[in-house]
Structure 1
Amino acid sequence: MNAILLRFLPYIAALALVAGALFGAYHHGVTVTDAKWQGEWNARDTRDAAAKANNEAAERTREQARQQSINKAIQNGQQIIDQVTADAATARASADSLRGAADKLAARLAASEASGNSCTAAASKAAAHAAVLLADVLKRADQRAGELADAADQARARGVTCEQAYDGLIRSSAIN
């Protein structure tokens, strides 16, 4: 049996060497392939990181453009509101002088009513009372109209500001 084993021993050793060489070649091939794929994945990861950075920079630029558009709309809107407020103050001053004139007229009619003769006193008293009432209604109507006009002007200015901000956002979104 020893003789048979010695006879096949060189074949077994050669077979073991061939198997070892094949395993070494296989292992080398796997290592080379893994290194190749790892290099490609690293390159892909680098490209993805660069694309992400570019996209973030572009989005930051778009967002800054949108914010500048909104800031400009707010600034323009505040100018409109300031102008409306100044116009309302001017209108109030004019209305105050109109109300003062109505008060003077009512006071003059009341004074003339007191100094009238008895014959025309009743008719004059009724006319003076109607004039005083009309002057009071005029003052109240003018005051309320001024309040409503001020509120409407403020609402319009705010609406225009909002519209400008929206249009700026739409334009910047359409560009990008």
Structure 2
Amino acid sequence: MTSWAIRVAVLLALLASYWGVYQHGRSVERAEAATATAKRDSGDRLAEIIGERGARQEEQRRAQAQEEARAHAHEERTTADTGAAGADAAGQRLRDEAGKLAATVSCPGTDSAALARGQAATRAAMVLSDLLARADARAGELAKAYDQARIAGQLCERSYNALIN
């Protein structure tokens, strides 16, 4: 072979070795990049799982707090209803006594002036008894509405606080 052919063969061998080294470097770089990507992806997945677990725990805490607030409101409504029933019974007794008192106010007698005064007093006592009955019934309605609004407001406040805390 001629020296020129040897030089070309050496040059080709040199180029082939450089090409082989270049390809090896690329494959090593790809493997390192794939390893880094796998590590990053597994770290991302781990962070996602931890985040999901934390979010699930927070959601469960909130749901439990809201359920406790609902249970507390139910207890308060039960207590308020019991108190209202007791107040209604006491009010009914008061109205009954007022009606009895109004019925007994009349003044029996032979004097027509005393009889007229007795009838006027009976009518006045009946009007006052009716007014007392209406006022007591309305006060009961207002108390019941107030209790319901108060309990609903407290439930709303507790639910809100459970969400933001």
Fold agreement, TM-score > 0.5 = yes
Structure-to-structure mapping, 1:73-152, within 5 angstroms: 73-109=69-105, 112=106, 117-152=111-146
Alignment of 1:162 onto 2:162: no
TM-score (norm 2): 0.90
Aligned pairs for 1:2-81 (under 5 A) are 6-81=2-77
Per-residue Cα deviation, 1:56-84 (whole angstroms, up to 9, x for no partner) = 11121122112111111111111011000
Cα offset, 1:158, TM superposition:
1.9
Q: Which runs of 5+ in 1 are unaligned?
A: 172-176
RMSD, aligned α-carbons: 1.9
Following superposition, the deviation at residue 113 of structure 1 comes to 5.8
Amino acid at match of 1:79: E
Q: Deviations over 1:7-52 (max 9, x none)?
A: 5222212211111111111011011011111101101111111111
The amino acid of 1:144's aligned partner reads R
**Runs of at least 5 residues in structure 2 that lack an aligned partner in the other structure:** none
Contact 2:76 / 2:151 at 8 angstroms: preserved in 1? yes
Instruction: Tell me by how many angstroms 1:169 deviates.
Output: 3.0
Deviation of 1:115 after TM superposition, in Å, equals 6.2
